[in-house]
Structure 1
Amino acid sequence: MSIDHAFAQRFAEEWVAVWNARDLEAVLAHYTDDVVFASPRIVTFIGEPSGEVRGKEALRAYWAKALAQLPDLHFTLEDVRVSVDTVVINYRNERGTAVSEALTFRDGLVCRGFGAYTA
C-alpha cells in the first residue's frame, strides 16, 4: 500500500479524534490483529521491559491501563508526514509533551508502530 498525504491527514485527524474521545475500540479498529507496537510508556504502564507489545489484545491491555491512569488524556495534532507505507503523526499530549507516532500500514491497517517522546 502506497500512502498519500490526503490519506495520512484523514487518518491522523480521525486517530486523534478517537483518542480524544477515549474510544479505545475505535482506536484499535485501525490496527491489525498481529500488530507490534513499541513505546517507552509500555515499560511505565505495564512493566514490560522490552517496551513492546505483540497483538491487538496485548495492545488493548496496555492502552486500557494507560487510559485508566491518564484521565486528562488529550492530543493536539501538529503535523503529519508520509513515507511509502508509513505515516508519522506528530502531536502534543495533555502535558504539552511532543510525541511522534510512526505507524506502518498493511492492507489499510496499522501493523507496526512506535511512539517516540521528547524528554
Structure 2
Amino acid sequence: MSIDHAFARRFAEEWVAVWNSRDLEGVLAHYADDVVFASPRIVTVLGGPAGEVRGKDALRAYWAKALGLLPDLHFTLEDVRLSVDTVVINYRNERGVAVSEALTFRDGLVCRGFGAYAEEV
C-alpha cells in the first residue's frame, strides 16, 4: 500500500470524525490486531509505568477507560504530515492542548502508533 498526501488527509479527517462521534469500534477498525501503541496518557489512565499497550484488545480497554474519563472529548484537526509508511496527525484536544499522533501502517492498518502531547498551560 502506498501512502500519499491524499490518503493521509482522508484518513486523518475520518479518524478525527470517528473519535468525535465517540465510536470506539469505528476507531479500532483502523488498527491491526497486533498493534503497539505508546502514550504518556496510558500511564495516567491505566496506572502502569510502561506507557504502552500491545494488541487491539489492550488498546480497546485503554481507550474505553479513557473515553469514560473524557465526556467532552473533541479533536480539532490542525494538519497532517506524511513519511514513508507513517501519517502524523496534529490536532488540538477538548482542552486546547496540541497533540501529535504518529501512526505507522502495514497492509492498510495502523500497526504502531504513539501520541505526543504539548505542555498544558
TM-score, normalised via structure 1 length: 0.99
Aligned to 2:93: 93
Name the residue aligned to 1:2: 2
| Unaligned ranges ≥5, structure 1 | none
Aligned to 1:50: 50
Q: Which residue of 2 aligns with 1:24?
A: 24
Q: Give the aligned residue type for 1:33.
A: D
Read off the aligned partner of 2:78 and give its amino acid letter: E
Residue in 1 aligned with 2:80?
80
How far did 1:48 drift?
2.0
Matched residue SS, 1:66: helix
Q: In the alignment, what sits opposite 2:105?
A: 105
Q: Which portions of structure 1, spanning 4 or more consecutive aligned residues, are displaced by more than 6 angstroms?
A: none
**Other-structure match for 2:13:** 13
CA–CA distance in 1 between the matches of 2:89 and 2:53? 20
Tell me the distance in 1 between the aligned counterparts of 2:50 and 2:64. 19
1:34-73 alignment, distance < 5 Å: 34-73=34-73
The amino acid that maps onto 2:116 is A
User: Which residue identity does 1:82 align to in structure 2?
Assistant: L
Distance 1:42 1:48 in 2: 8
Task: State the percentage of identical aligned residues.
Answer: 87
Q: What is the CA–CA distance in structure 1 between the aligned matches of 2:85 and 2:22, rounded to whole Å?
A: 26
Q: Shift of residue 47 of structure 1?
A: 1.1
Residues 48-86 of structure 1: per-residue CA shift (max 9 Å, x gap): 211000000000000000000000000000000000000
* Structural RMSD (CA): 0.5
Give TM-score scaled by structure 2 length.
Answer: 0.97
Spell out, residue by residue over 1:73-101, the C-alpha distance to the aligned partner (whole angstroms, 9 max, x if none): 00000000000000000000000000000
